[in-house]
Structure 1
């Protein structure tokens, strides 16, 4: 655990060699265990639960988690590991955290790899996407978690078979998973998706954009391509979809090594 302003961060370190940081939001450290284990054969690998999620507790559970907060947390973890600068890989909301880290603390980042950051402010239909986001948050806070996830997937243009949706989102919410889900909808989603990157700062940094090969047409495919275009870079294709690192850890590990 690392004490930081307003939070206590759970983190794991494995392996030895150049530092790689693997980050999600709201995904916790466990989501990257497969990739981390593979990279640890010749890297020092740091994974963490973002503030407010699972084992990383916060002083004020009603305070929103911003990309800036999470970037500052990552900078403190990298300094604490004393092995930087790091190759920082982030997926989904974690990609936004990594981009904010590259902006705010470039001295800690050798390469920032942003895999499918959901930056809706880069899109022409951002007003509608904002309205959709407010609708899903309000639906969740009214107690309709199933309806909120239906709206979330519709907004993301992700289709799940009915049985898969029922397995993932149809049952009652309880324990830590319920607390993490509430924190995501109430305190992470808005700040993460509405974040506006500083394109000048990111152009000056070493930033790589990653997209899943199976994410074509999804919201995060669109946002990632918009960011790559704005930065004048060509995105790197990763296997799978938005959570491809779960099913293809070997390719993810190899691609992160190559990009870093």
Structure 2
């Protein structure tokens, strides 16, 4: 696999780290892979399937090698501007193709609205957009409860509630936040509070800002970007799958099924393995046409 070249860029409020892998075919569009809060390391296996293209990955400002230099909580618009600067520094003004997963898919919907013309094809894979769901009131209350639990009790209790929520299939019941809290130990999480509040998923306002974001559908439709709303075939009924379908409906596009689940592209990164070979085949099919 092509070795990555690592670079640093200063942006307002953060220092970002990004990686570039060279491509073997000159006329192929660069492929940018983004997630949030997952960092570039999560795309290592998938990037190895696209050695014909320049591949750009990066660590979001609250994750791993990148660092915040401000106390302000980043929003999807903040991340969109970060990604824009990374793309310009890495490969110029575009066009590029983009695979965006989870919170990265939310950030890239904000990107297309704010920076039309840069992205040729956006594959937005399972954005956790609670704001677009029919049960948004209960679901947003559940998200705020996750955030409040983390701020009050620490990582274990907060992450346990988060995992229970994202594993729930179907609409979120109105009394979800009033139900007994799950035991962190059942997820292998710490039960003691170490006092830290800088988790990239639950801290920095991430979970509330991402799930509550409302896409600018008019601006996205007006952009020349082909938007592909993707979901995993094993994610039936989960928040991220339901959100992908809802956004596809709002944009007037057909949702596109991908192999595996929310982490279908993972090949052992972060201890998770999806079906990266099949995922890469499907992604190439979508990008090629």
For normalisation by structure 1, the TM-score amounts to 0.89
Does residue 14 of structure 1 match 2:21?
yes
Counterpart residue number, 2:43:
32
CA-CA distance at 1:233 after TM superposition: 1.2
Given candidates 150, 163, 169, the residue that maps to 2:160 is 150
From the superposition, tell whether residues 51 and 186 of structure 1 become closer, same or farther in structure 2 (CA, over 3 Å): closer
**2:263 corresponding residue in structure 1:** 243
Query: C-alpha separation between the residues in 1 aligned to 2:19 and 2:265?
Result: 18
- List alignment gaps of at least 5 residues for structure 2: 1-7, 170-182, 267-273
Match of 1:72 among 52, 73, 81: 81
- Contact 1:26-1:184 at 8 Å conserved across structures: no
Q: Which moved more, 1:240-249 or 1:4-13?
A: 240-249
What number of residue pairs does the alignment pair up?
A: 252
How far, CA to CA, are the matches of 1:217 and 1:206 in structure 2? Answer: 25
Does residue 196 of the first structure (1) align with residue 214 of the second (2)? yes
User: What SS does the aligned partner of 1:240 have?
Assistant: coil
Structure 1 range deviating more: 10-19 or 21-30: 10-19
Q: In the superposition, relative to structure 1, how do residues 231 and 210 fare at CA in structure 2: closer, same or farther (>3 Å)?
A: same
The alignment's C-alpha RMSD in Å is 2.2
Q: Which residue of 2 aligns with 1:252?
A: 279
Q: Is the 8 A contact 1:78 1:108 kept in 2?
A: no
CA positional deviation for 1:11: 0.4
Deviations for 1:158-213, whole angstroms, at most 9, x for unmatched residues? 49xx999533x347788xxx775256434211111110001112223310011011
Is the CA contact (8 Å cut-off) linking 2:36 and 2:104 kept in structure 1? yes
Q: Is 1:94 matched with 2:104?
A: yes
Q: Partners of 2:282 and 2:72 in 1: how far apart?
A: 36
Separation of aligned partners in 1, 2:237 and 2:277: 25
Deviation string, structure 1 residues 47-69 (Cα, Å, up to 9, x no partner): 00001211111111x31111111
Q: Whose relative contact order is higher, 1 or 2, with alpha carbons under 8 Å and at least 6 apart?
A: 1
- 1:234 and 2:254 matched: yes
